Amino acid sequence: MKDIIDGRKVSLEIKEEIKNFVLNRKNENKSIPKIASILIGNDEGSIYYQNSQEKVSTSLGVEFLKIKLDEKITEENVIKEIYRLNNDSSISGIMILLPLPKGLNEKNIVNAISPKKDIDCLTYESVGKLYLGEETFIPCTAESILTLLKSYNVQLEGKEVVIIGRSNIVGKPTFQLLLNQNATVTICHSKTKNLQEICKRADVLIVAIGKPKFINSNYIKRGAVLIDVGTSSYEGKITGDIDFENVKDKAALITPVPGGVGALTTTLLIRNSCKALENSED
């Protein structure tokens, strides 16, 4: 194996950029980024993620508004709260933690967010711009993948990339980002036939299926770059979709889990809030 892709190292570099951005804003007596994070209900994963967002944001000097709403709240009142945040000039970015409690229409609620503050790229307008190749915020996990590949000088133009997983937040946007880089991209899923043979063609293999250690050395060609997006609990440890120990001697580059893609996502979300603030002043 040539190298391990260190998501934490790349994240630290971007965090320094954010710190300097905030410091410069303060020195110029300008407003600083402020994120509004909306949590509805008591989903444990969402609570953990919101607390993590707050910790990282405040450590970088970015203001963080933690909003917690009762799981029995009506859809109308959720949308009213989002409109209030849309109209609050001190808020540069809005995100809503998913999944939502039963009875709430996710599409209606998400699309109430102003695209100018949609730092997680959830609204129809943001997603549409992404697929049209227009400038917009990029879903943070997909952007993490591309950022790591670029940080390690992985050439994508003309390369064959295979993505396993077709979710709206990882597989599909990653497909589009790589296509924009002139890669030849294949996306696979649970109904794909001859998966092993397809994966063996890949110069870059990206896996996001939530099946611990699913991909072993039989799925990859020697010298491939492996990006593992999976995070599952396996024998008491957080484990990726790729069997790291089994494939490491065959891969040129590989992301660990933890410490790979996931180490970067919250940092990129915060960076998006900085971009949103700048855009609001143009």
Mean pLDDT value across the chain: 95
- Whole-angstrom CA distances from 128 to 92, 94, 173, 258 are 21, 18, 11, 31
Residue 47 falls within a domain, yes or no? Answer: yes
Is the domain of 62 the same as that of 152?
no
- Tell whether 144 and 66 lie within a shared domain: no
Reported as a single tens digit per residue, the pLDDT across 141-170 is: 999 999 999 999 999 999 999 999 999 889
The whole-number pLDDT of residue 180 equals 92
Q: Is residue 84 situated within a structural domain? A: yes
265 marked as part of a ligand binding site: no
193 phi-psi bin (left φ>0, alpha ψ -120 to 50, beta other)? beta
Q: What is the mean pLDDT of residues 5-32?
A: 97
Whether residue 174 sits in one domain with residue 214:
yes
pLDDT, position 235: 87
Residue 274: inside a domain? no
Statement to judge: residues 65 and 169 lie in one domain:
no
233 and 145, same domain (yes or no): yes
- For residue 219, name the pLDDT band (cuts at 50, 70, 90): very high
- pLDDT, tens only, 225-254: 999 999 888 888 889 999 999 999 999 999
37 has binding-site annotation: no
Helix 44-59 with 262-281: angle, nearest 10 deg: 60
Whether 63 and 152 share a structural domain? no
pLDDT band per the 50, 70, 90 thresholds, residue 2:
low
Model confidence pLDDT, tens digit, residues 56-105: 999 999 999 999 999 999 999 999 999 999 999 999 999 999 989 999 99
Q: Is the pLDDT of residue 1 over 90?
A: no
In a domain, 7, yes or no: no
How many domains are there within the chain?
2
| 126 belongs to an annotated ligand binding site | no
Q: Is 90 annotated as a binding residue?
A: no
Q: Are 152 and 75 part of one and the same domain?
A: no
On whether both 256 and 169 belong to a single domain, the answer is: yes
One domain for residues 177 and 88: no
Residue 24 domain flag: no
Domain containing residue 83? 29-116
pTM > 0.85? yes
Contact partners, residue 94, CB within 8 Å, separation at least 6: 35, 36, 38, 82, 85, 86, 113, 114, 117, 118, 119
pLDDT of residue 282: 77
In the prediction, which pLDDT does 122 show? 93
